[in-house]
């Protein structure tokens, strides 16, 4: 029936999907995708991953979904400190490379700063000495040519932790015969039972429109069950985050005021700290809600959950509107939270990292799976992931899995072994260069100290000799840094080759 409807009749999310389908079907030489996973459920995201892995042409995509990017990308182009950087490999390689380059930059900056200070001291000390006039003038010229390197400022990202309300209870909540529907002709949730214990990490997964958010609202007390019940331990304090909750924000309030009003025990300093953690520093905390974007409003809602001590977190798609670094910070905050977490998410990185149990909406039913997301994929998996051939029965699936697992592990082991042999000498070379740089920097420091002594003794011959040695040492250090950059790039290229082989193995 949907094929007969006008595109204008569909929601914004479905219109995005329609445009994505048109792009995929056009068979271009270069496919440009801007946040293609927005508005998609987990099975749709997995389908696009499989489609793009087999795509024979070039793909360039923008995404904040790290697991999606890592499965597809051979190279990462990032904007760091207002500059574009292209690095072979996945996001982990990208951030490692950036961190390494910034460490090298900072070491070089400090070294140059020390050198400039020493030159300035030499000029000040010997400016009036006629016999050292040429050396003084030479250093003045050197100082004038030297470009000052600014200290790198810390890049702002979300940095926070959830406040925990102590709770000694073993059981957090229990549902019995829980049922709900918006339409009497179709039950979204039917006779659903689950017991969630203290410290559990429960992730709710499934296709869009199947009842995930509805279940979370029932657990949060935002909706009343039509049948059955939800029972909480008396000591449970809930924190609920849901995208549509941004409608509860008051347009005339500031960000700081919304955080202040979240809990009666919040003072202005704590509110300011949380504003800063949510990237509303300084005057940004005084912005009115009415001028904020959708993503900024979501951060305010997250801040209101943060400021309230809770022991049960109920989170509905908390990574929406968050960039990659902010998602990493959220993942760490959830992982470090001492209480219980129930979370709806389509983000497979979060599922692999956090899920101890799953509530799965699939094939018209609601399944509680006691185990990790990886175990779910291996033992049950998502419906209709067999390239349109229909689902195999469980016996065939298990047999097929057993027959392939041994071969899969053997091939993966071979690739890892090949990678180890290929990159080991490169890594050893990098360590050798780094040790050599450290050795020459220590040597340079000693030469500079000796130069100061010679300067104080006004020993012109020794000063000239030391100047040549210092220059030679600096040239060696510069050469070593250039060599380190080249060898590191070689390592990244090699790692990218083997990462691609592993991706192809995983997708095949």
* Mean pLDDT to the nearest integer, 459-464: 84
What is the average per-residue pLDDT within 119-147? 80
- Helix (H, G, I), strand (E, B), or coil: what is residue 208? coil
- Give dist(CA 158, CA 277) in Å, integer: 5
Cα(303)–Cα(312) distance, rounded to whole angstroms? 16
**pLDDT reported for residue 182:** 87
Mean pLDDT along residues 263-278: 85
Phi and psi at residue 282, to the nearest 5°: 55, -130
- Specify the pLDDT at position 402: 40
* 119 against 413, higher pLDDT: 119
What does the pLDDT look like over 19-70, one tens digit per residue?
888 888 888 899 999 988 887 889 889 988 988 888 888 999 999 899 999 9
With cut-offs at 50, 70 and 90, classify the pLDDT of residue 401: very low
Lowest-confidence pick of 148-162, 171-185, 205-219, 392-406: 392-406
Question: What is the rounded average pLDDT of the residues 395-414?
Answer: 55
Helix residue ranges, H only, 387-459: 394-456
Which CATH code for domain 171-237+309-391? 3.40.50.300
Higher pLDDT, 403 or 142: 142
- Give dist(CA 120, CA 122) in Å, integer: 5
Whether the pLDDT of residue 11 is over 70: the answer is no
- Report whether pLDDT(409) > 70: no
> In the structure, what pLDDT confidence band is assigned to residue 392 with cuts at 50, 70 and 90?
very low
Question: What count of other Cβ atoms lies within 10 Å of the Cβ of residue 445?
Answer: 13
Cα gap 43→94, rounded to integer Å: 27
pLDDT score at 194: 95
Q: Let me know: does 287 contact 280? Beta carbons within 8 Å.
A: yes
What pLDDT, on a 0 to 100 scale, did the predictor assign at position 214?
93
Q: What mean pLDDT is reported for the chain? A: 85
Q: How confident is the model at residue 266 (pLDDT cuts 50, 70, 90)?
A: confident
Question: CB-side exposure of 264: number of CA atoms within 13 Å?
Answer: 0
Let me know the angle formed at the C-alpha of 325 by 276 and 279, rounded to the nearest 5 degrees.
Answer: 15
* Helix or strand run (H / E) with residue 206: strand 201-206
Nearest to 307 by CA among 251, 267, 341, 248: 267
At residue 360 the predicted structure's pLDDT band, cuts being 50, 70 and 90, is: very high
> How is the beta sheet containing 201-206 ordered, strand by strand?
238-241, 312-316, 340-344, 201-206, 357-362, 365-370
Task: With both helix axes pointing from N to C terminus, report the angle between 460-507 and 394-456 in degrees, rounded to the nearest 10.
Answer: 180
Query: Could you tell me if 250 and 258 are in contact, meaning their C-beta atoms sit under 8 angstroms apart?
Result: yes
Q: Note the CATH number of domain 2-81.
A: 3.40.50.300
Closest Cα to residue 231, out of 181, 196, 204?
196
- The answer to whether the 2-81 and 171-237+309-391 domains have the same CATH topology is yes
Instruction: Tell how strand 357-362 and strand 365-370 pair up.
Output: antiparallel
Residues whose CB is less than 8 angstroms from the CB of residue 59 and which lie 6 or more positions away in sequence, other chains included: 30, 31, 33, 52, 72
Lowest-confidence pick of 67-76, 153-162, 171-180, 463-472: 153-162
Under 8 Å between Cβ of 204 and 189: no
- C-alpha distance from residue 332 to each of 160, 202, 272 (Å): 9, 16, 22
* pLDDT one-digit tens code per residue, 182-240: 887 778 899 999 999 999 999 999 988 889 999 999 999 999 999 999 999 999 999 99
Q: What is the pTM of this model?
A: 0.67
- Domain ranges for the chain, please list them: 2-81, 93-154+406-507, 171-237+309-391, 249-300
8 A C-beta contact, residue 41 and residue 52: no
Q: Are 208 and 345 in contact (CB under 8 A)?
A: no
CA-based angle 323:44:31, to the nearest 5? 70
């Amino acid at each position: 029936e949907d094929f007969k409807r006008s595109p204008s009749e569909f929601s914004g999310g479905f219109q995005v999907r329609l445009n994505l389908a048109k792009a995929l079907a056009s068979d271009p030489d270069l496919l440009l995708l801007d946040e293609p996973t927005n508005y998609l459920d987990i099975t749709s995201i997995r389908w696009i991953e499989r489609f793009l892995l087999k795509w024979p042409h070039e793909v360039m995509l923008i995404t904040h979904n790290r697991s999606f990017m890592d499965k597809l990308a051979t190279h990462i182009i990032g904007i760091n400190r207002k500059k574009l950087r292209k690095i072979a490999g996945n996001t982990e390689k990208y951030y490692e490379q950036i961190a390494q380059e910034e460490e090298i930059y900072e070491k070089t900056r400090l070294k140059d700063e020390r050198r400039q200070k020493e030159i300035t001291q030499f000029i000040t000390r010997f400016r009036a000495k006629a016999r050292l006039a040429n050396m003084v003038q030479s250093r003045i010229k050197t100082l004038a040519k030297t470009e000052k390197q600014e200290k790198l400022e810390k890049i702002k990202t979300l940095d926070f932790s959830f406040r925990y309300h102590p709770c000694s209870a073993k059981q957090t909540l229990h549902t019995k015969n829980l049922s709900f529907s918006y339409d009497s002709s179709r039950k979204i949730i039917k006779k659903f039972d689950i017991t969630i214990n203290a410290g559990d990490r429960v992730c709710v997964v499934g296709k869009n429109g199947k009842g995930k958010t509805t279940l979370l609202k029932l657990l949060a007390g935002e909706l009343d069950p039509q049948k059955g019940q939800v029972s909480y331990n008396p000591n449970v304090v809930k924190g609920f985050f849901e995208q549509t909750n941004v409608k509860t924000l008051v347009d005339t309030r500031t960000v700081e005021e919304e955080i202040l009003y979240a809990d009666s025990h919040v003072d202005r300093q704590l509110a300011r700290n949380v504003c800063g953690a949510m990237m509303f520093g300084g005057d940004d905390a005084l912005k009115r809600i009415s001028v904020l974007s959708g993503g900024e409003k979501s951060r305010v809602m997250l801040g209101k959950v943060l400021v309230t001590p809770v022991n049960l977190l109920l989170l509905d798609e908390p990574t929406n509107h968050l960039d990659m670094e902010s998602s990493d910070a959220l993942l760490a905050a959830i992982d470090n939270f001492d209480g219980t977490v129930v979370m709806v998410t389509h983000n497979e990185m979060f599922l692999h990292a956090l899920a101890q149990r799953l509530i799965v909406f699939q094939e018209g039913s609601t399944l509680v799976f006691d185990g990790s997301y990886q175990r779910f994929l291996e033992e049950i998996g998502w419906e209709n992931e067999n390239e349109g051939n229909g689902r195999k029965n469980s016996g065939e699936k298990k047999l097929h899995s057993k027959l392939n697992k041994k071969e899969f592990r053997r091939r993966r082991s071979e690739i890892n072994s090949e990678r180890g042999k290929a990159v080991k000498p490169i890594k050893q070379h990098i360590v050798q260069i780094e040790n050599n740089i450290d050795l020459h920097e220590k040597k340079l420091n000693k030469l500079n100290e000796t130069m100061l002594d010679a300067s104080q003794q006004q020993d012109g011959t020794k000063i000239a000799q030391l100047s040549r040695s210092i220059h030679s040492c600096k040239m060696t250090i510069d050469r070593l840094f250039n060599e380190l950059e080249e060898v590191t790039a070689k390592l990244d290229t090699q790692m990218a080759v083997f990462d691609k082989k592993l991706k192809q193995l995983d997708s095949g």
